[in-house]
Structure 1
Amino acid sequence: MTAVGPLDAMFLLGETREQAMHVGGVMLFELPEDAGRDQVFPDGGREFLSRLYQEMVGARTVDPVFTRRVRRRAVDLGYWSWEPDGEIDLEYHVRLSALARPGRYRELFELTSRLHGTLLDRHRPLWEMHLIEGVEGHRFAIYSKIHHAMLDGVSALRFLQETLTTDPDRTNMPAPYSVRTKSAVETPPLGSLVRVVPDLLGLSPVALKSAVRALLMEHSSVAFQAPRTIFNQSITGARRFAAQSWPMERLEKVRAITGATLNDVMLAMCGGALRTYLLEQNALPDKGLTAMVPVSLRGLEGQGPGGGNSLATLIADLATDERDPERRIRRVMDSTSYGKTMLSQLSPLQNLMIGALGLGVAGPAAVLPGLAGRTPPPYNVVISNIPGPVESPLYWNRSRLLGMYPASIVLNGQALNISVTSYDHQLHFGLTGCRRTVPHLQRLLGHLEDSLQDLERL
């Protein structure tokens, strides 16, 4: 029996029917050339995928991370803890689905939207994986989701990477849940959590002042300085998901011209897209929007101080009130530089607690009925950049991975999430929004392209 970490517990505490607390994503694959094309009536790889599915549910080993379920017992003084499920049912967790014809990306992302809007069963380990056949262009997809209390996005991506290979002919590749990675997440015993307190008490007056300034100073467009927008209203449990990829080379050219980081270029790209989207809705506020940006605290070995989640946060100015793209990216650069300076003055555990505060400041609107949209939001949108395998193409059981699109959490009062990951010289954007609060979410994809073109003209 192990304790649920403090930040992990926040994701369990904050979950409601309207506010699911799982993260996930879509991996898009190209079927091998000989799958379903050697017959008079091609089956679109159905037999190939059926065989893969049987191998997945027949896995003999399951990583302990994926067998644990959450419990809240009186002996734990009301605190959540993890316990192993000794009879995990893989046929429940792993499912085979098919798209309706014609199997376009539109149908794939509609299915993803529905799957992402349903809660995970807390009586079981908190994850699911869906093998999806029938994607046009001789392709298939895997949609997976896992509760944020179990893993953060960086850890989840590490598990996925362990299942992939650069060898296009390799077979018998494992499913993510059957791999024991060197960076597997270990949750601390309940008693070890008290060691966080001395570290927090170790904040020097200067560091404490820096942390407070990082949350409150208007110059950095930080918490409680964001304008009210249509994104900061009540949400429903239904989701909409949209995704697209952009060549990393295009953003690298902007980075070289401006001296920004690649992440700054991505944030400026989002800022321009959100500006156009809100102008279309006649809902652009006079003040610039801000984004909460999670920052991973995990080292090269994947270890961090927070159990399933090791995240700090900073607040970025998206400068949506700025028409000029060059001035917009300069403001983004100033705000992220300031935030990184603040984080560098804190220890990993102090950063973890500041990260919890960064997530927690959205809490009142998220958990108190009727509050969302009535009070100033701490930030307007969450934008995450999860580093992935950048260089070589990867394969799973001879199927080439074409794209990996993250799907994340939206909160009551925070109805839009933009998550990005890198792979094979591309940035893959996944947009998750409340189906009712964020209308025409897919239009943001076109606005992202237009915003990038504006930056390329600098």
Structure 2
Amino acid sequence: MDHLSSLDASFLHFETPETPMHVASLCILELPEGYKGDFYEDVKAMVGKRLHLASVLTRKLAPMPFELAEPVWIEDDDIDLDYHIRSLTLRRPGSREQLDQLVARLHSSLLDRSRPLWEMYIIEGLENGRVAFYSKMHHSGIDGKAGTEMTKVMYDITPKPREVPPPRRKTGSPGGYQLGVAELLQAAVSNTAQQYRKLAEMLPTAAKALTTAGNVLASQRTAKGERPLNLGVAPKTIFNDSITNQRSFTSMSLPFNDLKDLGKRVGGTVNTIVMAMASGGLARFLQQRDLLPKEALIAAVPVSLRSEGDSAMNNQVSMVRVDLATDIADPVERFKAIHASSEAGKAVVRELKPVLGVDMPMTGSPWLMTSLASLYGRSNLARRLPPMANVLISNVPGPQVPLYVAGARMLSFYPVSIPYHGSALNITVQSYAGSLDFGLTACRRILSQDESYELIEHMKAALKDIERLPRVETAVPGASPLKEVPVKAVETTAKPARKARAAAPARKAAAKTGTPVARRQRAAAKRAG
């Protein structure tokens, strides 16, 4: 028995028929040359042998009596693989548009809470002879980083599936085990006491973290007339509305190395490139409809709190808001503003990391939060209240080596994520084997399938604008101009990207001494004095 944290449980409580709270992935697979087997049966056999390696696949929920406390995870000893793993075939011609529409429809249905919260689909009939693999899991049991850790368990790095040790035989009474009311209540009281004790123990750490974060916020204050880093409420857009459970989905892939080199050249990171693409794409999309607000759009961006090496199957994430600077016409200044806002938000989270992931016990939170979530969606409060953000944008670091599913090579690894009331569009990217794979998931009533394709094209156009930005380094007189780094056509089998090395010591030294021109000016002034 394992208690859900407050954050994990919130994904259950905020789930309504209109807002399924599961995350998913869409993998495009290439079958081995000359393959004649039954791929669905191969995948089912592979998953069956590895269920015990990932707890998220073998546990189900046990709610507390009267919903007085958060539910617990218990082991399910009767998992029906034929229910959890399913086979579908696209009608001819099996186009990519047909696949996108099918994934959107699969993503709109709720998971069965009486079973382990996951489903997998083998989708055949693609026009190029490839196979798609769509899998979804409830966000209460896994976040983006934990999902990446699970891929290491379920998938292989060679075409030949590896052998795994069988599960250990469990002791105790066989099958049909259910927790009694007294046992559940005792566990709830014990867990609440532990949470309060942890809160008391970390008060000194919390005070120190809050003080440091306050100092960081104070250092981010800007002079009068400069663009503020502290953001207010977001402007109203068509995306800030109540949603239905129907979804649209679109994807694209770009070479990761090219984006990383481009970020270095224009003074940002891959994150900044993604934010700027979203900024430019959304601005074009809304402007063509005469719906672009005068104020800048704001993105809600998840930030991982997970420590290095932590592979626990739970949620360890917080949220920052990033200025998308859609009100700035100058592309150079817009890019600078996006990068500054992103870095400022991450700086505060780094200081508050010791306290952001702490459980906050609250009696009766399941029924209270579920009722509030239902009220928020059905009362149109999402349309009436001022939004905190206009769009959700997430970047998930994924595996950087090619993976295989039951012998089939994975070519692309697209994320399929969660829109919500007030944030009808979610843009998530995931790096995989030298590629950056984009997944746009939205409420179909607010962003139709065709409009989703249109937004993707606008984001590609925004990337072209970023490629035209000037290099940020000071040019050396007489030197030949440096070659620009355009992002090339997608190639999902590109070599894995190497991790960039931090240059913090050089930046600190430059901040103290200034540029060569500034040093010469100071020396001249000193001689003149």
Does 1:254 pair with 2:262?
yes
Partner amino acid, structure 1, of 2:195: L
Q: Which residue of 2 aligns with 1:83?
A: 74
Equivalent residue runs for 1:84-103 within 5 Å = 84-103=75-94
Deviation per CA, 1:313-343, whole angstroms, max 9, x where unpaired?
A: 2111111222332222101111012112212
Equivalent residue runs for 1:299-314 within 5 Å = 299-303=307-311, 308-314=314-320
Label 1:211 to 1:117 Cα distance change in 2 as closer, same or farther (>3 A). Answer: farther
Partner amino acid, structure 2, of 1:338: A
Q: Which residue of 1 aligns with 2:207?
A: 203
Deviation of 1:50 (Å): 3.6
Does 1:441 pair with 2:443?
no
CA distance in 1, matches of 2:414, 2:282: 19
1:124 aligned residue (115, 124, 128): 115
- Report the TM-score, using the length of structure 1 for normalisation: 0.85
Equivalent residue runs for 1:308-457 within 5 Å = 308-350=314-356, 366-367=376-377, 369-390=379-400, 392-439=401-448, 440-457=451-468
Is the 1:29–1:403 contact (alpha carbons within 8 Å) kept by the matching residues of 2? yes
Partner amino acid, structure 1, of 2:268: A
Deviation of 1:145 (Å): 0.7
Is the 2:26–2:133 contact (alpha carbons within 8 Å) kept by the matching residues of 1? yes
Deviation of 1:166 (Å): 3.2
Deviation of 1:210 (Å): 6.2
CA distance in 2, matches of 1:56, 1:189: 36
Is the 1:275–1:284 contact (alpha carbons within 8 Å) kept by the matching residues of 2? yes
Is the 1:232–1:415 contact (alpha carbons within 8 Å) kept by the matching residues of 2? yes
Three-state SS of the structure 1 residue aligned to 2:318 is strand
Deviation per CA, 1:416-458, whole angstroms, max 9, x where unpaired?
A: 0000000121110000000001231121111111111110011
Equivalent residue runs for 1:11-30 within 5 Å = 11-30=11-30
Does 1:55 pair with 2:45?
yes
Structure 2, unmatched stretches of 5+, are 168-189, 361-368, 470-529
CA distance in 1, matches of 2:427, 2:272: 14
Deviation of 1:154 (Å): 1.0
Q: Which residue of 2 aligns with 1:293?
A: 301
Residues matched between the structures, number: 426
Structure 1, unmatched stretches of 5+, are 37-46, 179-187, 355-359
Does 1:171 pair with 2:161?
yes
- Report the TM-score, using the length of structure 2 for normalisation: 0.74
CA distance in 2, matches of 1:365, 1:261: 40
Q: Which residue of 1 aligns with 2:137?
A: 146
Three-state SS of the structure 1 residue aligned to 2:293 is coil
CA distance in 1, matches of 2:352, 2:346: 10
Deviation per CA, 1:382-410, whole angstroms, max 9, x where unpaired?
A: 111000123x3332333211100101111
Equivalent residue runs for 1:181-220 within 5 Å = 191-198=193-200, 199=202, 202-204=206-208, 206-207=211-212, 209=214, 219-220=228-229
Is the 2:199–2:358 contact (alpha carbons within 8 Å) kept by the matching residues of 1? no
Label 1:237 to 1:75 Cα distance change in 2 as closer, same or farther (>3 A). Answer: closer
Partner amino acid, structure 1, of 2:254: W
Larger Rg: 2
CA distance in 2, matches of 1:69, 1:88: 10
CA distance in 1, matches of 2:214, 2:320: 15
Q: Which residue of 2 aligns with 1:272?
A: 280
Is the 1:272–1:320 contact (alpha carbons within 8 Å) kept by the matching residues of 2? yes
1:160 aligned residue (138, 148, 151): 151
CA distance in 1, matches of 2:329, 2:258: 21
CA distance in 2, matches of 1:21, 1:92: 20
Deviation of 1:69 (Å): 1.4
CA distance in 1, matches of 2:230, 2:18: 29
